[in-house]
């Protein structure tokens, strides 16, 4: 249950981070319209990992269903955003493997034993028109679908990973980047141009070179806290409420509290709720509320 002051968008004092255990598709219904300023999030990527929950994002039977589910969820996020609110969306890509189902399902090999997360390698339906080993282009498919659903797509930021995961591929360059999209709810949205600048003082560019977050506590897919901080500084004011419907290890909440913002975090995996709670208790001065 979301606390009444956060649900209504009233500023909590002191700053508060609330962690909600459950499916964001349902939890978002409890947020009042225009009650949060900005959403900073990174949903599970399609077909990459199995977090052990039937309703988890990323486990859909097809990439198109994944896109459709995200459009539906972010429609609820848009309702909860203030009229000048923004969405900062980090999302990764993958490669089509039409030749077989690969490692997934009840007999899958456990490729990442932390929290019993399983590596997935899902077959892409032939109806999607992708060939075996095609780069699927999921980030842009999601971005265009959100744009068509009413969001204003303002920027594509390239996150350049300072220490990317090694790949053993020999027939293409190794991946070292991901996309971060900036969406606005309306044409008159809040953006603090002075919130974060280049070292020279110039306007911030749309490529960010960032190292890994060493404080994520073992979450296999955590984005850097510095990435979350930049989004929060650019898209909100001190005292605002930040939303993350895919909280994972709580990086957005940690960054929000360090920047004098409150946050509402939603996470379907109870193990990650515990991890986020531990990080927030040791890393911030926020008053932590655990719900669910």
Contact 131, 98 (CB under 8 A): yes
CATH 3.40.50.150 fits 4-291, yes or no: yes
- Locate the domains of the chain by residue range: 4-291
Give pLDDT, residue 165.
83
Angle (CA) 199-201-203 rounded to 5° is 105
CA torsion sign for 117, 121, 126, 130 is positive
Q: Which residue has the tokens 């020279």?
A: 200
Q: Which tens digits make up the pLDDT trace of 26-63? A: 999 999 999 999 999 999 988 665 545 556 666 677 88
Percent with pLDDT over 70 in the chain:
73
What pLDDT, in 10s, does the model give residues 123-157? 666 656 788 888 999 999 999 999 999 999 999 99
CA gap 112, 231 in Å, rounded: 29
Residue 30 pLDDT: 94
Region 1-6 average pLDDT: 52
Report residue 8's pLDDT band, with 50, 70 and 90 as the boundaries: low
Q: What tokens were used for 190?
A: 């809040």
What is the Cα Rg of the chain in Å?
18
Q: What stretches of the chain adopt beta strand conformation (E)?
A: 16-21, 36-41, 49-50, 81-91, 118-119, 152-161, 177-184, 207-210, 241-244, 262-267, 287-291
Q: How far apart are CA 157 and CA 211, in angstroms?
A: 16
Question: How is residue 31 written in tokens?
Answer: 């947020």
Is residue 73 predicted with pLDDT exceeding 70? yes
Q: Which residues pair with 288 in a beta bridge?
A: 17
State residue 145 phi and psi, 5-degree precision. -65, -40
Average pLDDT value for the chain: 82
Residue 100: per-residue pLDDT: 35
CA-based nearest residue to 157, from 79, 105, 209: 209
- Say if strands 118-119 and 49-50 run parallel, antiparallel, or are unpaired: antiparallel
């Amino acid at each position: 249950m979301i606390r009444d002051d956060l649900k209504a968008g009233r500023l909590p004092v002191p700053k508060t981070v609330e962690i909600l255990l459950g499916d964001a598709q349902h939890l978002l219904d409890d947020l009042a319209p225009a009650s949060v300023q900005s959403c900073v999030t990174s949903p599970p990527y399609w077909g990459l990992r199995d977090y052990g929950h039937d309703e988890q994002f990323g486990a859909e039977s097809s990439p198109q269903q994944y896109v459709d589910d995200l459009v539906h969820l972010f429609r609820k996020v848009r309702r909860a955003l203030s009229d000048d609110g923004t969405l900062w969306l980090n999302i990764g890509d993958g490669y089509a493997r039409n030749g077989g189902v690969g490692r997934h399902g009840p007999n899958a090999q456990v490729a990442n034993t932390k929290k019993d997360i399983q590596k997935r390698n899902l077959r892409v339906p032939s109806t999607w028109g992708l060939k075996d080993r095609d780069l699927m282009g999921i980030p842009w498919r999601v971005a265009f679908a959100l744009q068509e659903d009413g969001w204003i797509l303002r920027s594509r930021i390239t996150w350049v990973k300072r220490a990317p995961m090694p790949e053993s591929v020999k027939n293409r360059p190794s991946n070292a980047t991901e996309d971060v999209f900036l969406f606005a709810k309306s044409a008159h949205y809040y953006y603090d141009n002075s919130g974060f600048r280049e070292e020279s003082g110039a306007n911030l560019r749309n490529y960010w070179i960032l190292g890994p977050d060493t404080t994520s506590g073992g979450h296999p897919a955590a984005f850097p806290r510095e990435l979350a901080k930049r989004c929060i500084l650019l898209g909100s004011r001190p005292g605002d409420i930040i939303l993350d419907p895919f909280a994972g290890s709580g990086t957005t909440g940690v960054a929000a509290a360090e920047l004098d913002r409150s946050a509402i975090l939603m996470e379907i995996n109870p193990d990650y709720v515990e991890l986020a709670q531990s990080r927030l208790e040791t890393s911030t001065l926020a008053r932590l509320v655990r719900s669910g």
